[in-house]
Amino acid sequence: MSELISRYLSDVAATLELGREIGRGLRGGEVIALSGDLGAGKTTLAQGLVGSLGYRGEVTSPTFSLVQEYLGGTLDVFHFDFYRVEEEYELLDLGWDDYLDRGGLVMVEWPALFPQLLPKKTRWLELSHKNGGRFIEEIAAFS
């Protein structure tokens, strides 16, 4: 794994650019966990990631749909939001394991609600509010 990310993001543009930077290094089969409070920049980072993979449509939070699929770029992206999920079986019934096996990028907002479903090689990115902007830190393992 490359050096872990630890960076202050002064505005939306910086968050989008970091998402594009991360996205350029993806090859398929990765899982990225996006943690942080409401409004911390998880969806903005996801927009940069998805955009870097060639998807040109709108990228929104999957809060109500639970998963958004972004197809047609260099990698297919499956963007999950666990926030409204009450039981693990809801994700399994949705086809969680199948999404992991599809070889695209799986992104998960609110991953700490069901960490047991995430593969061991998941990249955990924690976003927080800081000094009028955002701070992102990659953590090596979720504990």
pTM to 2 decimal places: 0.90
The DSSP-derived string for 4-41 is PPEEEE-SHHHHHHHHHHHHHT--SS-EEEEEESTTSS
Quote the domain boundaries for residue 89: 28-115
Residue 128: inside a domain:
no
Dump pLDDT digits (tens) for 4-53.
Answer: 889 999 999 999 999 999 999 899 999 999 999 888 999 999 999 999 99
The pLDDT of residue 65 is 83
- Number of domain units in the chain: 1
Residue 84: inside a domain:
yes
Residue 102: inside a domain:
yes
End-to-end CA distance of the chain: 19
CATH number at residue 67: 3.40.50.300
**If residue 108 lies in a helix (H) or strand (E), which one and from where to where?**
strand 105-109
